[in-house]
């Protein structure tokens, strides 16, 4: 396995001193190391395409090769700037992609990673991006990094390193502040669910919120037909919910979102607000971190989601921090004409024994469709 400090030291020795990306569980040690040691030369981007653009800007100003890190589920977000900005047929900008390879063929992974894992290499090949799998042995890894960076620099083009599970040694972060909010996300979800009506529908964002919602329904002895679990497609839950709300104006549609997911495609709030979808209700669970991939900080605690959505045309937006105030705020959200939003401030982290949905995505979809039809 590779020590994070060694890996970053190799990069620095080869002239790489700027890093941008969206955190990934397989890259968690490196992400946290950069957060602790790279200062303002490290940016956690809103989405992976934005990270590529940041890297391109840094290259234009310095001539150096930057590094962009991401989970392979974010490859889709990178395709436009990689092909229409960095590609050799356009501006010919060198950069290194560090990609966590979830769903690699032959490994067991969650449903949303299986297809992405199968096409990860073929997507790089289709984009004509030279790539290697990063070896876990330090000397081989260093040679691999050296060779790829030489290609990036001499041919002025993007290159990619694919990273398998357990390639990097674990790293304990030192710069992550503890959350001082009193509610857990799971408590907040239980309270929201308890306040909803029998015909209300939920679209929940990817990662731990969907897993906690699923277990909340199990504990209550309820079925799972009233919610659509967005197991992948980070940042798109609000637009899924808007599509449902437009088609079913007779029902209240709740989007259960996270701060990282909201930031990833925040333009969706402008579309919701401009459309004035009266039955759209947005709940943002804000703990200021990318909790589902390790807990690296987002910009969620530095921005005002309530002011943002009101500027986008939402009729109402509230923020709540105390659990005792939450039922009243949910009641206000439910009774208000939409689009309306409630931001719930919660602790980071989740139960160590948090499970995963026992039903398949297709089973979830079919049950949800049947629920909406009645």
- Are 366 and 253 in a shared domain? yes
Task: Indicate the number of domains in the chain.
Answer: 2
Which pLDDT does position 179 carry in this prediction? 65
- Are 141 and 206 in a shared domain? no
- Are 33 and 129 in a shared domain? yes
Give the orientation angle of helix 185-195 with respect to helix 326-335, to 10 degrees. 50
What CATH code is carried by the domain that includes residue 8?
3.40.50.970
- Are 112 and 159 in a shared domain? yes
Residue 177 forms part of a structural domain: no
- Are 152 and 189 in a shared domain? no
- Are 128 and 266 in a shared domain? no
Residue 178 forms part of a structural domain: no
Residue 44 forms part of a structural domain: yes
Domain boundary among 163, 198, 223: 163
Domain boundary among 103, 128, 163: 163
Which pLDDT does position 223 carry in this prediction? 87
Domain boundary among 103, 133, 163: 163
- Are 193 and 342 in a shared domain? yes
Which pLDDT does position 199 carry in this prediction? 95
- Are 224 and 108 in a shared domain? no
Residue 208 forms part of a structural domain: yes
- Are 117 and 229 in a shared domain? no
Residue 172 forms part of a structural domain: no
Residue 58 forms part of a structural domain: yes
- Are 206 and 345 in a shared domain? yes
- Are 11 and 159 in a shared domain? yes
Q: What burial class does residue 286 get, using C-beta atoms within 10 Å of its C-beta: 0-12 exposed, 13-18 middle, 19+ buried? A: buried
Residue 171 forms part of a structural domain: no
Give the global pTM. 0.92
Per-residue pLDDT of the chain (374 residues; tens, 9 = 90+): 999 999 999 999 999 999 999 999 999 999 999 999 999 999 999 999 999 999 999 999 999 999 999 999 999 999 999 999 999 999 999 999 999 999 999 998 888 898 999 999 999 999 999 999 999 999 999 999 999 999 999 999 999 999 999 999 999 988 665 568 999 999 999 999 999 999 999 999 988 899 999 999 989 888 899 999 998 899 999 999 999 999 999 999 999 999 999 999 999 999 999 999 999 999 999 999 998 888 888 999 999 999 999 999 999 999 999 999 999 999 999 999 999 999 999 999 888 888 888 989 999 999 999 999 98
- Are 356 and 214 in a shared domain? yes
For residue 231, what are the domain limits? 185-372
Residue 251 forms part of a structural domain: yes
């Amino acid at each position: 396995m590779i020590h994070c400090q060694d890996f970053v030291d190799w990069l620095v020795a080869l002239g790489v001193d700027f890093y941008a990306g969206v955190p990934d569980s397989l890259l968690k040690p490196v992400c946290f190391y950069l957060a602790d040691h790279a200062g303002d030369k490290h940016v956690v981007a809103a989405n992976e395409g934005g990270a590529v653009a940041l890297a391109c800007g840094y290259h234009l100003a310095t001539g150096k090769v930057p590094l962009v890190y991401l989970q392979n589920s974010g490859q889709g977000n990178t395709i436009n700037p990689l092909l229409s900005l960095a590609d050799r047929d356009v501006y010919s900008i060198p950069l290194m992609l560090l990609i966590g390879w979830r769903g690699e063929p032959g490994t067991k992974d969650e449903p949303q990673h299986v297809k992405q894992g199968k096409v990860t290499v073929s997507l790089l090949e289709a984009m004509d991006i030279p790539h290697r799998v990063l070896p876990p042995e330090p000397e081989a890894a260093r040679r691999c990094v050296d060779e790829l960076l030489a290609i990036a620099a001499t041919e002025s083009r993007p290159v990619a390193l694919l990273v398998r599970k357990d390639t990097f040694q674990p790293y304990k972060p030192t710069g992550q502040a503890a959350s001082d909010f009193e509610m857990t996300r799971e408590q907040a979800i239980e309270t929201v669910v308890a306040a909803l009506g029998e015909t209300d529908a939920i679209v929940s964002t990817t990662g731990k919120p969907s897993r906690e919602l699923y277990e909340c329904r199990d504990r209550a002895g309820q079925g799972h037909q009233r919610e659509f679990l967005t197991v992948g497609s980070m940042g798109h839950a609000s637009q899924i919910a808007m599509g449902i709300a437009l088609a079913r104006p007779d029902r209240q549609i709740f989007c259960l979102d996270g701060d990282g997911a909201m930031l990833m495609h925040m333009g969706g709030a402008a579309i919701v607000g401009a459309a004035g979808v009266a039955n759209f209700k947005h709940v943002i669970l804000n703990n200021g971190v990318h909790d589902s991939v390790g807990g690296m900080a987002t910009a969620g605690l530095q921005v005002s989601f309530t002011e943002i959505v009101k500027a986008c045309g939402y009729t109402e937006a509230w923020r709540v921090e105390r659990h005792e105030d939450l039922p009243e705020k949910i009641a206000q959200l439910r009774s208000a004409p939409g689009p309306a939003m409630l931001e719930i401030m919660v602790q980071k982290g989740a139960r160590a024994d948090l499970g995963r949905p026992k039903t398949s995505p297709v089973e979830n979809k079919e049950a949800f469709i049947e629920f909406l039809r009645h």
